[in-house]
């Protein structure tokens, strides 16, 4: 990219990017516009915009039509131009709507539904425009549906749309990916010459290639290296196929960095996953937003981690959910643990099955091993929270805090009615309902005394 910027600088050239995104995407059978459909949780068009931004263009125009406002609202930046194409009369007509905004010397045309374009290859394409057109092509064994690159004496002279092909042209396997870079001044002149006298009664952008040939302007091509980078999405099954291909590429990247994936075809990364050394990830795990796994972390099967950090040598047992939390090192979490937003765990903490934490800080060496709800709490170190302990943090109107100081032992099936504080080293007898602060180092319990009714008889069936 640096080289490319250097070339443009030397030539004193600037770049405009136009992204075509006005189509509805009828075959998606969805209320959501096609370019907003998610690939790894991120809308398709965001991939295209990110690649465009990485080229440092002078301006970016996104041509919108169907559900224009919902596409626009996805972006906070006002740096984009939003030409509106009210009726979808073809790719040439779409580009015509963008021409008032094009200020760069070269215009790069991208599609909002082709997400995995490679910025390095786009650089290459733009760099070889030379005052004319540079077309990204691909050799497709089954080219049906695509525009064909027609050559005379090996020189490109036209792109013919599938529906307009002669039977000879239909055999051509070199296809137009739709991505091209064009000299902006020439483009503006050629667009004025477009007509819609073709099979689809559309203004084809691809007809500018014919004009360029007539005007003896240079037409070059760049063959994309990898099909996934030029693949567009038209249906849910294509979306699913691209999702798998994309996930596999992310999995391969992780494995190249030394991560052990028990099955690379059974991992889903929907955001950024950063892994230290010797991380092991078992099957069926989902990672969302930004997840950081420290050295030696082991995430076992079917766990869902979102926006969290897990520090060194912690083990996440199967079926655990962790959301917006920080987990210290050498912890053991799960199976079936749920860490909700705002949970911060120090080192050597154990959180067992069916334990739910929310907005809770837990000190070193503390154990909450079974069936508990701990919310809006601050727990010290070396505390043992018995099975079935519940912080009653919500009075129906407001949330209140529970504080448990270090070295406390909370007996099983205890309810802590917040706000309440348990002093350091205290012991709570099992089955207690604690409504008042508990002193340090003493046994506190609230229970009716046990009695035996000697003349009681078990009822019998009549
Ligand atoms: C286009 C190319 C074809 C190429 C193929 C690659 C033309 C005439 N044909 O065909 O050579 O092989 O892409 O996939 O350019 N769009 C608008 N407004 C419109 C029409 C389209 O914004 O009026 C947008 C769509 O939302 C889409 C993109 O342009 O993102 C391509 O449109 P599409 O209808 O899929 O083009 P194809 O007919 O497949
Ligand atoms: Ca298409």
d(CA 227, CA 140): 9
Domain tally, the chain: 2
Residue-level pLDDT at 79: 77
Q: Are residues 195 and 308 in the same domain?
A: no
Q: Are residues 51 and 77 in the same domain?
A: yes
Q: Are residues 262 and 219 in the same domain?
A: no
Report which secondary-structure segment, H or E, holds 245: helix 236-256
Q: Domain end: 208, 230, 252, which one?
A: 230
Q: Indicate whether 265 belongs to any domain.
A: yes
Closest ligand 1 atom to Cα of 232: 14
**232 alpha carbon – ligand 2 mean position (Å):** 6
**416 alpha carbon – ligand 1 mean position (Å):** 63
Residue-level pLDDT at 78: 72
Residue-level pLDDT at 2: 57
Q: Are residues 149 and 274 in the same domain?
A: no
Q: Are residues 425 and 315 in the same domain?
A: yes
Lining ligand 1 with CB less than 6 A are 20-23, 63, 85, 88-91, 93-94, 111-113, 146-147, 159, 161, 175-178, 204-206, 232
**117 alpha carbon – ligand 2 mean position (Å):** 15
Q: Which residues are catalytic?
A: 370
Residue-level pLDDT at 3: 59
d(CA 424, CA 331): 23
Q: Are residues 208 and 246 in the same domain?
A: no
Q: Residue 125 corresponds to which tokens in the numbers above?
A: 């394409």
pLDDT (tens place) for every residue of the chain, 462 residues total: 555 555 565 567 999 999 999 988 899 999 999 999 999 999 999 999 999 999 999 999 999 999 999 999 999 867 799 999 999 999 999 999 999 999 999 999 999 999 999 999 999 999 999 999 999 999 999 999 999 999 999 999 999 999 999 999 999 999 999 999 999 999 999 999 999 999 999 999 999 999 999 999 999 999 999 999 999 999 999 999 999 999 999 999 999 999 999 999 999 999 999 999 999 999 999 999 999 999 999 999 999 999 999 999 999 999 999 999 999 999 999 999 999 999 999 999 999 999 999 999 999 999 999 999 999 999 999 999 999 999 999 999 999 999 999 999 999 999 999 999 999 999 999 999 999 999 999 999 999 999 999 999 999 999
Q: Whose CA is nearest to atom 17 of ligand 1?
A: 22
Q: Are residues 327 and 376 in the same domain?
A: yes
**266 alpha carbon – ligand 2 mean position (Å):** 29
Residue-level pLDDT at 9: 55
Q: Which domain does 440 fall in, by range?
A: 236-444
d(CA 428, CA 261): 44
Q: Are residues 399 and 252 in the same domain?
A: yes
Cα 162 from chain centre: 34
Residue-level pLDDT at 1: 53
Q: Indicate whether 178 belongs to any domain.
A: yes
d(CA 270, CA 267): 10
Q: Indicate whether 94 belongs to any domain.
A: yes
Q: Are residues 109 and 152 in the same domain?
A: yes
Nearest of 15, 275, 43 to residue 126 by alpha carbon: 15
pTM: 0.92
Residue-level pLDDT at 4: 59
Q: Indicate whether 457 belongs to any domain.
A: no
Q: Are residues 214 and 101 in the same domain?
A: yes
Closest ligand 1 atom to Cα of 177: 6
Residue-level pLDDT at 456: 96
Beta strands in 3-139 (DSSP E): 15-21, 38-39, 42-43, 59-64, 80-81, 106-111, 133-139
CATH code for position 387: 2.160.10.10
- 440 CB-near residues (< 8 Å, 6+ apart): 405, 423, 424, 425, 426
Q: Whose CA is nearest to atom 39 of ligand 1?
A: 146
Q: Domain end: 182, 207, 230, which one?
A: 230
Report which secondary-structure segment, H or E, holds 182: strand 174-183
Q: Indicate whether 71 belongs to any domain.
A: yes
């Amino acid at each position: 990219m640096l080289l490319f910027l250097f070339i443009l600088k030397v030539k004193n050239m600037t770049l405009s990017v136009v992204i075509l995104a006005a189509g509805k995407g009828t075959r998606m059978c969805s209320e959501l516009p096609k370019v907003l459909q998610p690939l790894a949780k991120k809308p398709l068009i965001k991939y295209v915009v990110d690649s465009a931004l990485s080229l440092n263009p002078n301006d970016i125009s996104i041509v919108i039509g169907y559900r224009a406002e919902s596409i626009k609202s996805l972006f906070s930046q006002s740096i984009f131009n939003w030409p509106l194409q009210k009726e979808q009369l073809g790719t040439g007509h779409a580009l015509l709507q963008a021409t008032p905004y094009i200020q760069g010397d070269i215009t790069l045309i991208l599609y909002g539904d082709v997400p995995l374009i490679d910025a390095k290859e786009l650089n290459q394409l733009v760099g070889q425009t030379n005052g004319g057109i540079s077309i990204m092509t691909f050799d497709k064994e089954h080219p049906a549906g695509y525009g064909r690159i027609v050559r005379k004496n090996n020189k490109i002279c036209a792109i013919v749309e599938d529906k307009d092909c002669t039977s000879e042209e239909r055999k051509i396997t070199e296809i137009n990916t739709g991505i091209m870079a064009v000299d902006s001044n020439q483009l503006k002149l050629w667009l004025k010459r477009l007509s819609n006298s073709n099979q689809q009664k559309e203004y084809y952008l691809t007809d500018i290639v014919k004009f360029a040939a007539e005007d003896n302007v240079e037409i070059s091509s760049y063959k994309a290296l990898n099909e996934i980078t030029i693949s567009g999405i038209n249906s849910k099954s294509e979306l699913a196929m691209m999702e798998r291909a994309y996930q596999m590429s992310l999995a391969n990247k992780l494995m190249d960095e030394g991560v052990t994936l028990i099955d690379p075809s059974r991992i889903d990364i929907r955001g950024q996953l950063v892994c230290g050394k010797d991380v092991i990830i078992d099957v069926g795990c989902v990672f969302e937003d930004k997840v950081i796994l420290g050295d030696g972390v082991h995430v076992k099967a079917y766990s869902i981690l979102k926006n969290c950090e897990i520090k060194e040598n912690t083990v996440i047992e199967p079926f655990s959910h962790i959301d917006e939390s920080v987990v210290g090192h050498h912890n053991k979490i799960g199976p079936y643990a749920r860490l909700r937003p705002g949970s911060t765990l120090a080192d050597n903490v154990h959180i067992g099955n069916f334990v739910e934490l929310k907005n809770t800080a837990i000190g070193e060496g503390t154990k909450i091993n079974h069936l508990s709800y701990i919310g809006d709490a601050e727990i010290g170190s070396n505390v043992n929270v018995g099975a079935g302990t519940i912080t009653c943090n919500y009075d129906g109107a407001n949330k209140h805090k529970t504080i448990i100081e270090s070295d406390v032992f909370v007996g099983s099936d205890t309810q802590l009615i917040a706000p309440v504080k348990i002093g350091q080293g205290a012991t709570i007898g099992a089955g207690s309902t604690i409504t008042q602060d508990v002193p340090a180092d003493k046994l506190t319990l609230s229970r009716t005394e046990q009695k035996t009714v000697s003349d009681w008889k078990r009822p019998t069936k009549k």
